[in-house]
Chain A
């Protein structure tokens, strides 16, 4: 009886902590966590990161619940590296890569030659409808007339 009571109490406590963390979680903080985790090798302009978090969150491109889950599970989420090739890991990694992609395309990083030693500055939220924003594309080169 005591053991069952103890287990139930522990479970209720854990649920309470998880619920509290989720309720107190923040979408912007989650986006920043993703960037810090995946782009730790870059110097990111802190104000720009905050602005990007606000802009990305405002688009609703990533579900708020998912972002808050990341924030709530922050210590667990940010520490272990994703290594196993399973569906969940792939899905998380893909989501992270999408955030990183949007961030990098929204900054001067590729414009400055992808220099990892230079502070990365946020310019404006990436808009695919602004023409020719693909930093890797190479146009067709016509042969020079003889």
Chain B
């Protein structure tokens, strides 16, 4: 007989950990939870020694049909993508939840900003987020850590656009926390050598060590087992052997790459399943400045521009959030100048545009090896591309403040390092796969957590919303359980 649990949770990244945190907070000492994780522990010392975040190469778990044009970052193993993220913790703006209602484009999300506001606050406290006291969006509680320091061009931008430029809200610690190092803008966030960014490993591993939880590593879930409209459990492969487990509730939290992959392999059908894979459209811009020294903030990304985010323009083209980078070694784009005395008179910007996902961008199951997911990215929406076409005009606006000598680069990037869509949420079972509380429309004891549920992109980073949605889903699940009992 397969082992039986109250709940099976698949995955150990943000969506999983925040859901489990809330679930355990509100559950009795008698509940039993099985957590299945495909990868290994791969702790921080292992990562630094091996100079990578996972002992499983991404190419071993998914095939990208568009390498070079579109990249998707993922890090299998305990802590999941929290190991390789850069620590951006922006909330979505209220308008992101109501694109259709406010601007007549895209889709509304099936909840409002206000529904998630308290959950955003909780996540910020758990992650010990650094950020400013002012904010482009309403917030009921201040951030726990002081903001990072602006670089010199950001100081100018803040002076001229006080309501349009902010210190970045980030899980890269600005001051000592007793748990993590302090970010010093090394620019190697993926493997942060001082462990300054929040990860599941350094911040929420304790929920997986709870005595009610059985954490099983090296266990790759193959299918959700269903019968008579109910999820009965999961089948998985552990160290090469097939095993299964049963539970009253099954929760998938394996990212927008693998949530649809598992559902598709399970024979769970929906016209939209695996479709609308998306993220923000990134445009990388390098500006050579005259007399303004850059790269001197206190963290990799020290500022965010909201000048072109909310507004009536969203009826016509995508909203934009602008990142200002503060490391001369920021991935492929970073570089000093060569001219004497002007080495750091260079500003790196990334313009992130929201997208209205296309059905043609997909995650499917490999026909030759069903254990592999396959990503296919055809294009961004015209809406996003119309936004990106505004970049020269946006640079002109910045030029009213910054002494720009030359636009050294302006090109569409290959990734914003986010993975969204593929198991979209909504109120209508015909046009969505999970409901507003991330419960599967058809299998009411199956939850599918994470950014796979996002109906639209938003220029904001997804992690805060992923984590807040997990708290929201857990609250709903437990309130339902209480009502039932």
A97 contacts B338, CB within 8 Å?
yes
Partner of B148, one of A129, A130, A140: A140
User: Is there a chain A Cβ closer than 8 Å to B174's Cβ?
Assistant: yes
CB-nearest residue of chain A to B410? A90
Minimum CB–CB distance for A127 against chain B, Å:
9
Residues of A in contact, count (CB < 8 Å) = 32
Contact bitstring B281-313, A, C-beta under 8 A = 1, else 0: 000001000000111111000000000000000
A136 contacts B293, CB within 8 Å?
yes
For window 321-345 of B, CB contacts with A under 8 Å fall at 326-329, 334-338, 340-341, 343-344
User: Is there a chain B Cβ closer than 8 Å to A54's Cβ?
Assistant: no
Contact bitstring A91-116, B, C-beta under 8 A = 1, else 0: 00110111011001100000000101
Bound together, the chains give a CA A96 to CA B409 distance in angstroms of 14
**A131, A133, A134, A140: residue with the most chain B Cβ atoms closer than 10 Å:** A134
Bound together, the chains give a CA A96 to CA B294 distance in angstroms of 19
Contact bitstring A116-146, B, C-beta under 8 A = 1, else 0: 1000000000101111111011111110000
B343 contacts A137, CB within 8 Å?
no
User: Is there a chain B Cβ closer than 8 Å to A38's Cβ?
Assistant: yes
Residues of B in contact, count (CB < 8 Å) = 42
A-side interface mostly? loop
Minimum CB–CB distance for B340 against chain A, Å:
5
User: Is there a chain B Cβ closer than 8 Å to A11's Cβ?
Assistant: no
User: Is there a chain A Cβ closer than 8 Å to B146's Cβ?
Assistant: yes
A134 contacts B336, CB within 8 Å?
no
CB-nearest residue of chain B to A42? B340
Q: How many A-B contacts if CB must be within 8 Å?
A: 103
User: Is there a chain A Cβ closer than 8 Å to B185's Cβ?
Assistant: yes
User: Is there a chain B Cβ closer than 8 Å to A41's Cβ?
Assistant: yes
B335 contacts A97, CB within 8 Å?
yes
The answer to whether A131 and B186 touch (CB under 8 A), given A138-B298, A142-B146, is yes
A100 contacts B338, CB within 8 Å?
yes
A94 contacts B409, CB within 8 Å?
yes
- Chain B residues with CB under 8 Å of A65's CB are none
- Chain B residues with CB under 8 Å of A94's CB are 286, 335, 408-409
User: Is there a chain A Cβ closer than 8 Å to B184's Cβ?
Assistant: yes
User: Is there a chain A Cβ closer than 8 Å to B386's Cβ?
Assistant: no
User: Is there a chain B Cβ closer than 8 Å to A14's Cβ?
Assistant: no
User: Is there a chain B Cβ closer than 8 Å to A18's Cβ?
Assistant: no
Taking Cβ atoms with an 8 Å cutoff, the residues of A that contact B are: 38-39, 41-42, 85, 90, 93-94, 96-98, 100-101, 104-105, 114, 116, 126, 128-134, 136-142
- List 7 extra interface pairs beyond A101-B328, A101-B336, A116-B341, CB under 8 A: A38-B338, A100-B336, A131-B193, A133-B329, A136-B185, A136-B296, A140-B149
